[in-house]
Amino acid sequence: MVRVSVKCPHCGKSMMEPKKKLDNTTAILVHLTYAGKNSPLHLSSAYGSYKTETELGVPIGKIAGFRCPRCKADLKSTRKCDVCSAQMVAFDLKEGGQVQICSRRGCKKHILEFQNPDNELEAFYKSYLKAFK
Protein backbone atom coordinates (compact mmCIF):
# COMPACT_ATOMS: atom_id res chain seq x y z
CA MET A 1 0.00 0.00 0.00
CA VAL A 2 1.25 3.45 -0.84
CA ARG A 3 0.16 6.23 1.43
CA VAL A 4 0.25 9.92 0.66
CA SER A 5 1.22 12.53 3.21
CA VAL A 6 -0.32 15.94 2.62
CA LYS A 7 -0.11 19.50 3.89
CA CYS A 8 -2.16 22.64 3.36
CA PRO A 9 -1.11 24.58 0.20
CA HIS A 10 -1.91 27.82 2.07
CA CYS A 11 -0.45 27.57 5.60
CA GLY A 12 1.90 24.63 4.97
CA LYS A 13 0.72 22.78 8.08
CA SER A 14 0.35 19.03 8.00
CA MET A 15 -3.17 17.76 7.36
CA MET A 16 -2.43 14.32 8.73
CA GLU A 17 -4.38 13.26 11.80
CA PRO A 18 -2.28 10.68 13.69
CA LYS A 19 -5.07 10.04 16.22
CA LYS A 20 -7.37 8.77 13.49
CA LYS A 21 -6.84 5.61 11.42
CA LEU A 22 -8.55 4.62 8.17
CA ASP A 23 -7.36 1.59 6.17
CA ASN A 24 -4.94 1.03 9.10
CA THR A 25 -3.07 4.19 8.25
CA THR A 26 -3.09 7.80 9.42
CA ALA A 27 -6.11 9.70 8.12
CA ILE A 28 -6.13 13.08 6.39
CA LEU A 29 -8.26 15.69 8.17
CA VAL A 30 -10.14 18.44 6.32
CA HIS A 31 -13.19 20.55 7.12
CA LEU A 32 -16.14 19.77 4.93
CA THR A 33 -18.81 22.40 4.32
CA TYR A 34 -22.18 21.73 2.78
CA ALA A 35 -25.52 23.60 2.93
CA GLY A 36 -24.25 26.05 5.57
CA LYS A 37 -22.99 23.29 7.90
CA ASN A 38 -19.50 22.13 8.48
CA SER A 39 -17.96 19.07 9.98
CA PRO A 40 -14.57 17.34 10.08
CA LEU A 41 -13.97 14.88 7.28
CA HIS A 42 -11.41 12.11 7.50
CA LEU A 43 -10.00 10.74 4.26
CA SER A 44 -7.93 7.62 3.86
CA SER A 45 -4.31 8.41 3.00
CA ALA A 46 -3.95 5.07 1.21
CA TYR A 47 -3.63 5.97 -2.45
CA GLY A 48 -6.49 4.51 -4.47
CA SER A 49 -8.78 4.17 -1.45
CA TYR A 50 -11.99 6.22 -1.33
CA LYS A 51 -12.70 5.57 2.32
CA THR A 52 -13.98 8.67 4.13
CA GLU A 53 -15.68 9.36 7.44
CA THR A 54 -17.80 12.37 8.33
CA GLU A 55 -20.91 13.27 10.32
CA LEU A 56 -22.11 15.49 7.50
CA GLY A 57 -24.31 13.70 4.98
CA VAL A 58 -23.55 15.12 1.55
CA PRO A 59 -25.92 13.54 -1.00
CA ILE A 60 -24.25 11.65 -3.86
CA GLY A 61 -23.80 13.99 -6.83
CA LYS A 62 -23.65 17.19 -4.70
CA ILE A 63 -20.61 19.42 -4.46
CA ALA A 64 -19.10 20.06 -1.04
CA GLY A 65 -16.58 22.66 0.12
CA PHE A 66 -13.22 21.63 1.58
CA ARG A 67 -11.26 23.81 4.02
CA CYS A 68 -7.99 23.53 5.88
CA PRO A 69 -8.72 22.58 9.52
CA ARG A 70 -5.90 24.90 10.71
CA CYS A 71 -6.09 28.13 8.64
CA LYS A 72 -9.63 27.60 7.24
CA ALA A 73 -8.44 28.45 3.72
CA ASP A 74 -10.61 27.17 0.90
CA LEU A 75 -8.76 24.29 -0.77
CA LYS A 76 -10.51 24.81 -4.10
CA SER A 77 -8.11 24.43 -7.01
CA THR A 78 -8.14 26.38 -10.27
CA ARG A 79 -8.67 23.13 -12.14
CA LYS A 80 -12.04 21.62 -13.03
CA CYS A 81 -12.84 17.93 -12.98
CA ASP A 82 -12.71 16.61 -16.54
CA VAL A 83 -15.34 14.00 -15.71
CA CYS A 84 -18.10 16.11 -14.10
CA SER A 85 -16.69 19.71 -14.33
CA ALA A 86 -16.94 20.37 -10.58
CA GLN A 87 -14.06 22.28 -9.01
CA MET A 88 -11.13 20.14 -7.92
CA VAL A 89 -9.69 20.39 -4.40
CA ALA A 90 -5.90 20.54 -4.03
CA PHE A 91 -3.53 19.34 -1.31
CA ASP A 92 0.26 19.64 -1.36
CA LEU A 93 2.22 16.43 -1.05
CA LYS A 94 4.93 16.64 1.61
CA GLU A 95 7.34 15.01 -0.85
CA GLY A 96 6.57 17.71 -3.44
CA GLY A 97 3.79 17.88 -5.99
CA GLN A 98 0.06 17.88 -5.47
CA VAL A 99 -2.86 15.58 -5.15
CA GLN A 100 -6.24 16.83 -6.37
CA ILE A 101 -9.63 15.29 -5.76
CA CYS A 102 -13.04 16.14 -7.19
CA SER A 103 -15.37 18.04 -4.82
CA ARG A 104 -18.46 16.21 -6.08
CA ARG A 105 -19.60 13.41 -3.79
CA GLY A 106 -19.40 10.09 -5.60
CA CYS A 107 -17.04 11.30 -8.35
CA LYS A 108 -13.84 9.28 -8.13
CA LYS A 109 -11.69 11.55 -10.24
CA HIS A 110 -8.35 12.37 -8.70
CA ILE A 111 -5.01 13.49 -9.99
CA LEU A 112 -1.51 13.07 -8.64
CA GLU A 113 1.16 15.45 -9.86
CA PHE A 114 4.82 15.19 -9.02
CA GLN A 115 7.67 17.63 -8.99
CA ASN A 116 10.30 14.95 -9.00
CA PRO A 117 9.94 12.49 -11.90
CA ASP A 118 11.99 9.89 -10.03
CA ASN A 119 9.52 9.87 -7.19
CA GLU A 120 8.66 6.34 -6.11
CA LEU A 121 4.99 7.29 -5.91
CA GLU A 122 4.99 8.05 -9.61
CA ALA A 123 6.50 4.66 -10.34
CA PHE A 124 3.72 3.15 -8.29
CA TYR A 125 1.10 5.26 -10.03
CA LYS A 126 2.27 4.09 -13.45
CA SER A 127 2.13 0.44 -12.49
CA TYR A 128 -1.27 1.11 -10.93
CA LEU A 129 -2.55 2.53 -14.25
CA LYS A 130 -1.09 -0.39 -16.15
CA ALA A 131 -2.91 -2.84 -13.91
CA PHE A 132 -6.23 -1.24 -14.85
CA LYS A 133 -5.72 -1.06 -18.60
Please list every residue from 22 through 81 that binds Zn ion, using CB under 5 A.
68, 70-71, 73, 81
CB of 60 to Zn ion, least distance (A): 12
Identity of the amino acid at 77: S
Which one of residues 14, 109, 114, 122 is an interface residue with Zn ion (CB under 5 A)? 109
The CA-based dihedral angle spanning residues 79, 60, 43, 74, taken in that order and rounded to the nearest 10 degrees = 40
Nearer to Zn ion, 53 or 74 (CB): 74
Q: Which stretch binds Zn ion (CB under 5 A): 29-37, 47-55, 104-112, 123-131?
A: 104-112
Cα–Cα dist 132/121, whole Å:
17
Which one of residues 6, 8, 16, 28 is an interface residue with Zn ion (CB under 5 A)? 8
- Whether the Cβ atoms of residue 31 and residue 76 lie closer than 8 Å to each other: no
CB of 129 to Zn ion, least distance (A): 18
Sign of CA dihedral 44, 111, 133, 128: negative
CB of 117 to Zn ion, least distance (A): 26
Instruction: Name which of 64, 54, 51 is nearest 25 in CA terms.
Output: 51
Please give the biggest Cα pair distance in the chain: 43
Residues that bind Zn ion (CB under 5 A): 8, 10-11, 68, 70-71, 73, 81, 83-84, 86, 102, 104, 107, 109
